[in-house]
């Protein structure tokens, strides 16, 4: 791993070679141990952006069946033993989708200054409504989980807070507020985490959202997700269902500026009008790009989502 001084020296050296790139791109290349001039030459370009670096890394991955840098471990020796004389286990190189996920998560965590906000929501009334709707309409319209209501609540809250539904290009310092809510739905598959996209979520009913999520999830798990359905998200919803825990710190899906994390529902004693009652409670653990979203704006957005979830009738009169 390069020291800060070595990184600065490497970046300064590359400035002399005439290849154009933003300081963020230069530092990322130096941190990865590559040379800007080599990447520009390999791609046949004179200006390297983050997307170009991603393409170069992907080509390197596809062109090499085995990358010794990916599998080497500190302390490994040629005879398979480490410095203590113990037998060293073989490293497992990351390949394919898993490696792409790792690279994207590394970029998001490295480039985006995350600020997290956790809020507790009372979903008792929403769960009662969901049960009633499923009892009456499940056979004809399909079963409703909690996710369609969250998608609808987020889509409606974005009307009041449009900056949350945006993408940010750090190389050009350009923020793009999006008119359509293209909701990324984080989905776990056998090949790793994928984020299929529910386009124009703001135009869909709860049942249409539910049907679309089922289709997207099945396609992702089968490996048949089209490029259109795998790209173009403007904000992401991440849920682990019953494994959701009490709180989490989700990583933003670059180049978006917000991710909404859903934790599991638990019954808890709550004070309401001076009385202790048992209510169904759920936390939203969300992360925001602090370059774009201030803490106040993040909290205001989540409070808007909370009002809609705790008074579900509001989601059907907008």
Residues with a catalytic annotation lie at: 290, 294
Distances (CA, A) of 314 to 28, 157, 309, 318: 45, 11, 8, 7
Tell me the torsion sign for CA atoms 298, 301, 303, 309: negative
CA dist 227 and 136 (Å) reads: 36
**The tokens of 156 are what?**
């409606």
Per the CB < 8 A criterion, the answer to whether 284 and 154 are in contact is: no
Cα–Cα distance between 178 and 235 in angstroms, integer?
10
How many Cβ atoms are within 10 Å of 223's Cβ, its own excluded? 11
Alpha carbons 252 and 103: distance in angstroms, whole number:
13
Cα 21 to Cα 30: distance, rounded to the nearest angstrom:
12
Report residue 225: phi and psi, to 5°. -70, 125
Question: In whole angstroms, what is the distance from residue 198 CA to residue 143 CA?
Answer: 18
């Amino acid at each position: 791993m390069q020291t800060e001084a070595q990184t600065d020296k490497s970046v300064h050296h590359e400035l002399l070679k005439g290849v154009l790139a933003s300081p963020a791109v230069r530092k990322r290349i130096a941190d990865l141990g590559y040379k800007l001039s080599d990447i520009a030459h390999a791609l046949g370009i004179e200006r390297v952006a983050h997307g170009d670096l991603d393409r170069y890394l992907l080509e390197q991955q596809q062109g090499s069946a085995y990358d010794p840098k990916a599998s080497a471990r500190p302390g490994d020796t040629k005879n398979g033993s480490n410095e203590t004389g113990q037998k060293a286990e073989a490293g497992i190189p990351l390949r394919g989708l898993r490696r792409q996920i790792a690279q994207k998560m590394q970029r998001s965590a490295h480039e985006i200054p995350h600020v997290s906000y956790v809020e507790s929501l009372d979903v008792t009334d929403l769960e009662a409504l969901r049960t009633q709707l499923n009892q009456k309409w499940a056979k004809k319209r399909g079963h409703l989980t909690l996710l369609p209501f969250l998608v609808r609540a987020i889509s409606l809250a974005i009307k009041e807070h449009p900056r949350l539904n945006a993408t940010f290009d750090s190389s050009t310092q350009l923020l793009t507020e999006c008119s359509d809510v293209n909701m990324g739905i984080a989905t776990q598959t056998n090949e790793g985490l994928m984020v299929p996209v529910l386009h124009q979520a703001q135009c869909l009913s709860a049942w249409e959202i539910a049907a679309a999520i089922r289709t997207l999830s099945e396609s992702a798990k089968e490996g048949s997700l089209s490029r259109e359905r795998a790209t173009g998200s403007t904000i992401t919803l991440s849920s682990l269902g019953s494994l959701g825990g009490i709180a989490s710190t989700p990583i933003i899906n670059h180049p978006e500026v917000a991710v909404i994390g859903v934790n599991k529902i638990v019954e808890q004693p709550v004070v309401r009008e001076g009385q202790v009652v048992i209510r169904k409670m759920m936390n939203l653990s969300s992360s925001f790009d602090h370059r774009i979203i201030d803490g106040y704006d993040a909290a205001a957005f989540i409070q808007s989502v909370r009002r809609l979830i705790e008074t579900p009738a509001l989601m059907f009169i907008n």
